[in-house]
Structure 1
Amino acid sequence: MSKYEAIINFINYEINNKNITYGEKMPTIRELSEKFNCSKQTVVHAYEIMQKNHIIYSRPQSGYYLIDKKELYINDFNKIIDFSSGSPDESILDYKEFQHCLNQAIEIHKATLFNYSSPKGLPDLIFTLKTYFENYQIFCSLDDIYITSGSQQAINILCSMPFPNGKSNVLVEQPTYHGTLKALETTKTPIIGIERKFDSLDLKELEKKFAYGNIKCFYTIPRFSNPLGISYTNNEKKQIIMLAEKYDVYIVEDDYLADLEIKNNSYPMYYTDTSSKVIYIKSFSKILLPGLRIAAVVLPKLLRNTFEEYKKWTDLNTSVLSQGALDIYIKSGIFNSNNKTIRTTYSERMDALRKVSSEIILPQIKWHIPDTGFYSCIEFLNNINIDWLIKECDKKDILIKGMDNAYLKDYFNGDILKISVGNCSTSDIENGIHELLKIIQIYYNNI
């Protein structure tokens, strides 16, 4: 059971036993945070769910209060099941341990905190990341590594800056991470799409795009794609790199969920790159703290100076405190220890999804469920009204959303529904998917 679920159960117990009465102020966020040894944000999340379900209400500058509804029965409480969120489950993120690392970082780097630091990044963290990357088959020099304020900043810079090949267009998979599409849109960078199917990428089509598309770089999420959840095989990665070398195209490899990989023989594209065409991006938002805003970029030598210049005039330098805390967190061994737990958790969630999806067989849909990660997909073999489905699920307190923002206009496919387990417990998955499949079944029965 997650921390926010435990908080909700505790409040329900207190209400049932009349320890909290109608109109009475609820326990404060600080009190519950200390009682359950969790972040204040976790308590806020629990209270927001109870507020949505009309159990409590908030008074500005005062707190939360129990609604005076005589007909309220606590056992009828419906918990929100969120299959739409790309955020990690905060209940399994290690806030307390990381807080100790922050405190140590303040002591160690207190002199640096009051001055600007190198736009390249904190030297201590860069040194630590070099060793950390080697565990993931990323072998690079200290000079290759740059620290950015999250992967979004790295993507924004790479979209904006010129490349040595003198080309101007960015090729993206369809669908892809909506943050990259927004970065390309806001920087007015010309975009070209290529369809990424569940079985493979059309390599002949890719070669045609590379040959005639004036492509400066190809942005790809080879492992646990956002939003499809699928991964390229090692052979597919090699072929893509060969084409990039042949047509002088750079590859931007976004490996945001590398830490969740459970296969020993799955390597990043960077590992097989011998032509210095791969730019490797690694974020820590999904497996540590989203608000940390730290990512690392491994760059080919020809791109370093330009990237650093763009980085410098974007924010001068990334937060020294965040960098210092991450450095301590990794070096202490806490990161590896906690990451094992997180990796197991998401693998178990996909197992639960695979199990429940097999219990109601619908010939009109096809599941695509990876071994682990955040995302899986339902492919609708017969047309369905996604807007109707979203509204019907909302009535059952199940959150899903369409994939419009993951596509360029000419590539939109309304026959795919993304299912995120990032913020769902196994019980959420079991209950929510059962309800979702029943709703889908009703739709097809009525047409």
Structure 2
Amino acid sequence: MKNKKETIQQIIRSDIVNGLIKPGQKLPSIRMQSQRFGCSLNTIIGVYQELENQYLIYSRPKSGYFVVAKEALLPLLQTKRIDFASAAPDPVSIPQIDFRQCLNKAMELFEASIFTYPDPQGLLSLRQEIVKLFQQQQVFPSAQQVFIFSGAQQALHLLAGMPFPNGKINILVEQPTYWGMLAALKTQRQTVIGIERTPAAVPDSFIPLLQWHKHTADLSTSVLSQGVLEIYMKSGMYAHHAKQMKSLYNHRIKHLREISQRLLPKECLYTIQSCGGLFASIHLPDSIPTEDLVKRLENRGVDVLATDKQFLSSFPKLNLLRLSIIRTDEQDIEEGIRIIAEELERAQYTSRSPKPFYRL
């Protein structure tokens, strides 16, 4: 339970953040605040000193206390956003201490090879560790089939520019798909045909070709980063973190499914009813312009992603919104879906409203 000093501090802080006391405005004197809250002068002095430590106010000798400039208040004045758009993990969920320990250990174990050019395909010991991980998931590659890249985008870019062993030139791409793959193909000026999702496999004949392209584009992926990942996996830290994240994300996506089924129109539940993993999609009626809805949601503090960039220009686009649960907790999900439902209802009502008739 908050004591009186903390309560007073929260009230004054809220007045500043909510704009009741403007940037640059002088705060009431210590004596006036003491009378207002029925407390001692020392209590108000302590409150003002704490707010000054938080960079919300500053003092002028013999003049009193003033609210800081608007620029300094902006981070506090901004409303909390519900982030359904991000695909990057929440920084809070990253095990920084574990990574730091692995980094220090990698500096010791791989000291002699950090500044050399090892196998462009990746450290063999790391690839063998990744094979074990796949085997636990009932996937059975060999270490020869595993390639280490600096990131997924680099791998996709190289694959997009490689000639096919069979000599064919047309590339089939699932629709919708990752926008970064479409961008890589466009950069390489490849002939691309959109198709619906089907299972696929990479032939062994790709391995020598991919080895050569990886070598010419990137002599070696950072030994230090590979070493950190190898230690992270061998120590069991990866398995522990993956288990935690899987449980967290499963819980969130289940909550998203339940809330969506309760609040959204049934015809909008495009992948909601069967979704898993990190993403789900809402199917908008054709009468609702996606850009307008995204903008209205943005104005209400909800960030979503339209899927236009995930379709080829030649492929029929679905009117979809992609929702990510990576940076949303249960409260965010419920509040965000409620706002989406309200804006959908408003947009549908607007689209049904009779347009004004003008006689020429």
Q: CA deviation at 1:312?
A: 0.8
Paired residue type of 1:405: K
Change (3 A) 1:355 1:14: farther
2:228 equivalent to 1:191: no
Are 1:317 and 2:318 counterparts? no
CA distance in 2, matches of 1:115, 1:13: 59
Residue in structure 1 matched with residue 300 of structure 2 by the alignment:
396
Give the corresponding residue for 2:262.
Answer: 359
Q: For the Cα contact (< 8 Å) 1:164–1:303, is it kept in 2?
A: yes
After TM superposition, the structure 1 = structure 2 runs for residues 255-334 of structure 1, keeping only pairs within 5 Å, are: 278-279=201-202, 300-334=203-237
- In proportion to residue count, which structure has more strand? 1
Partner residue, 1:223? none
Which whole-Å CA distance do the structure 2 matches of 1:337 and 1:23 have between them?
37
Quote the Cα distance in structure 1 between the aligned partners of 2:86 and 2:232: 26
Deviation per CA, 1:289-314, whole angstroms, max 9, x where unpaired? xxxxxxxxxxx442222111110111
**Residue 405 of structure 1, aligned match among 304, 309, 312:** 309
2:238, 2:276 → 1: CA distance? 19
Cα 1:143/1:363, change in 2 over 3 Å: closer
Maintained 8 Å contact 1:147/1:318: yes
Please list the CA deviations of residues 81-129 of structure 1 after superposition, one character each: whole Å capped at 9, or x if unmatched: 1112222222222222111111111111111011111101112201211
Is the Cα contact below 8 Å between 1:83 and 1:400 reproduced in 2?
A: yes
Residues 301/439 of structure 1: CA separation in 2 closer, same or farther (3 Å cut): closer
The aligned counterpart of 1:426 is 330
Aligned residues between the structures: 299
Change (3 A) 1:88 1:56: farther
**Contact 2:99-2:232 at 8 Å conserved across structures:** yes
Q: Give, in whole Å, the separation in 1 of the partners of 2:205 and 2:158.
A: 15
How much has 1:144 moved relative to structure 2? 2.0
- Give the AA of the match of 1:394: E
1:109-148 equivalences in 2 (<5 Å):
109-148=110-149
1:77 to 1:167, Cα distance in 2 relative to 1, 3 A: closer
1:152 matched to 2:177: no
User: Which stretches in structure 1 are left out of the alignment for 5+ residues?
Assistant: 1-10, 27-53, 58-64, 202-236, 238-250, 252-277, 280-299
| Alpha-carbon separation, structure 1, partners of 2:169 and 2:117 | 33
Q: What is the alpha-carbon distance in structure 2 between the residues aligned to residue 418 and residue 116 of structure 1?
A: 41
Deviations 1:352-385 (A, max 9, x none): 1112113324255234224531110111245211
Give the conservation status (yes or no) of the 8 Å contact 1:366–1:381: no
1:425 to 1:416, Cα distance in 2 relative to 1, 3 A: same
Give the C-alpha shift of residue 25 in structure 1. 7.5
Residues 438 and 108 (structure 1), Cα distance of their counterparts in 2 relative to 1, 3 Å cut = same
Output one character per residue of 1:25-54: Cα deviation in whole Å (capped at 9) or x when no partner. Answer: 79xxxxxxxxxxxxxxxxxxxxxxxxxxx9
> Equivalent residue of 1:343, what SS?
helix
Aligned runs of 1:211-250 on 2, under 5 Å?
237=199
Look up the equivalent residue of 2:211 and give its one-letter code: E
Aligned pair in 2 of structure 1 residues 435, 157: CA closer, same or farther (>3 Å)? same
Cα deviation, residue 20, structure 1: 2.5
Report the secondary structure of 2:147's partner residue: strand
SS of match in other structure, 2:165: coil
- For the residues of structure 2 that align with 1:160 and 1:13, how far apart are their CA atoms? 60
1:341 matched to 2:244: yes
Aligned partner of 1:163 in structure 2 is 164
Does the residue aligned with 2:166 lie in a helix, a strand or coil? coil
Q: Would the alpha carbon gap of residues 77 and 187 (structure 1) be closer, same or farther in structure 2, given more than 3 Å must change?
A: closer
| Distance change in 2, residues 1:305/1:399 (3 Å) | same
The residue type equivalent to 2:246 in the other structure is R
Q: Aligned residue for 2:253?
A: 350
Q: What is aligned with 1:24?
A: 55
Of Structure 1 and Structure 2, which has the larger fraction of its residues in helix? 2
Task: Specify whether residues 358 and 15 from structure 1 end up closer, same or farther in structure 2 by C-alpha distance, changes over 3 A only.
Answer: same
| Farther-moved stretch of structure 1 (76-85 vs 405-414) | 76-85
Amino acid at match of 1:116: Y
Identical-residue share of aligned pairs (%): 32
Which 5+ residue runs of structure 2 have no aligned equivalent? Answer: 1-8, 15-46, 58-67, 353-360
Which of 243, 262, 283 aligns to 1:379? It is: 283
Deviations 1:55-79 (A, max 9, x none): 974xxxxxxx346xxxx9x8x9631
Cα distance in structure 1, aligned partners of 2:84 and 2:10:
24
Equivalent in 320, 329, 335 of residue 416 of structure 1: 320
Amino acid at match of 1:88: P
TM-score, normalising length: structure 1: 0.62
Q: Distance in 1 between matches of 2:12 and 2:331?
A: 23
Q: Secondary structure at the match of 1:358?
A: helix
TM-score by length of 2: 0.76
Runs of 4+ in 1 over 6 A off after TM superposition: 11-14
Secondary structure in structure 1 of the residue aligned to 2:306 = coil
Amino acid at match of 2:342: K
Contact 2:88–2:326 (8 Å) recurs in 1: yes
